[in-house]
Amino acid sequence: MLTLDRFEEASEVVKQVTQETKLVYSDYFSRQTGNKVYLKPENMQLTGAYKLRGAYYKISTLSEEEREKGLITASAGNHAQGVAYAAKAFGAKAVIVMPTTTPLIKVERTKSYGAEVVLSGDVYDEACAKAYELAEEHGYTFIHPFDDPAVATGQGTIAMEIVKELPLVDYILVPIGGGGLATGVSTLAKLLNPNIKVIGVEPAGANCMQASLEKGEVVTLPNVNTIADGTAVKTPGEVIFPYIQQNLDDIITVEDDELIVAFLDMVENHKMIVENSGLLTVAALKHLPVKKKKIVSILSGGNMDVITMSSVVQHGLIQRDRIFTVSVLLPDKPGELVRVASVIAGERGNVIKLDHNQFVSTNRSAAVELKITLEAFGTEHKKQIVTALEKEGYRPKLIRANL
């Protein structure tokens, strides 16, 4: 399936349902890395992710009989919406098995396209086992989210668009869960220009492809643990694995904490909502040891529920030292609170929350504890505020911020 002719065919087919996601030049990430960084915003697709490409192309290749049986798949969310949308376009029934941990927004949007949703298992692999079981029971046609050459061909159309828009691209960074996107993008990129380097990016807590490449065969991780739910896969695709071995140049792994600050960077500098899995390629930029190269980071999706978004923003602000908590001990007498507040105000710190504990010591006249949660401009401003408190005779102690 993964031939240039098929990729060209798929590129024309997916245009029927995809938005045009032109590259966005990132001045911010370019300055941070010393490269020319471009973003491929697949989070702007109709279903909020690139998965619509592979799902629609795969279903377009099915016979009428296969479609009439009904379609089934397993997905943590984005492939689910892609299959649901594509099935509706072809007038086919769709059943989607999703992990019970799937964000509510992905479940509801999948249902909104007319699909029947079944929640089963804690991770994708468990949901997939249930989907195979239902497919056998009801005779549904299974649409694999990544281990299918036709699906991978549809996903690879992203590379066609990248190369057409930026012919001299040096590096393409692609997120990896099961490997369908990486298979399509790396295979087509090498067909178009063997000099393009394609780097896969996985969460450190779900690096099944990295482990498989190191061993030379597909391996299953005992467990996965990452906030990047769209790439929380224990076992990569066996059918597509040889393409990855041949065409992927390297794999970078990213810690969850790096995704949190990457989300903050995307919101503040590009006004874009990108889900944690889609941020893998952004967080990986600083791990790429190159300069003065043209790099494209594929933002694979933007389906994130508001509660998760709020939590990620708060943790990002804390990691960047823009919110922090300091504890000081002061005598229990009138005016002390005002005095501390004046010191903070003098350094342009903004108080978010106060916790005044009179019972930290049996000798209340000697000391009461004041915990102050503050907003600052960053690490240097935080140090400035702490130093000012020290100069006034307080002994500030930095503690874990709790919003």
Catalytic residues: 51, 300
User: How far, in Å, CA of 216 to CA of 370, rounded?
Assistant: 57
* Both structure tokens of 301: 């999706």
User: How far, in Å, CA of 164 to CA of 161, rounded?
Assistant: 5
* Both structure tokens of 195: 């000099």
- Sequence-ordered alpha helix ranges (H) in 196-305: 208-215, 241-247, 256-270, 280-283
112 - beta bridge partners?
none
The gap between the terminal CA atoms of the chain, to the nearest Å, is 51
* Both structure tokens of 236: 């990569």
Phi, psi of 60 (to 5 degrees): -65, -25
Phi, psi of 69 (to 5 degrees): -65, -20
Place of tokens 């087509």: 188
Contact call for residues 52 and 82 (beta carbons, < 8 A): yes
Contact call for residues 40 and 21 (beta carbons, < 8 A): yes
For residue 151, give the H/E element and its range.
helix 149-165
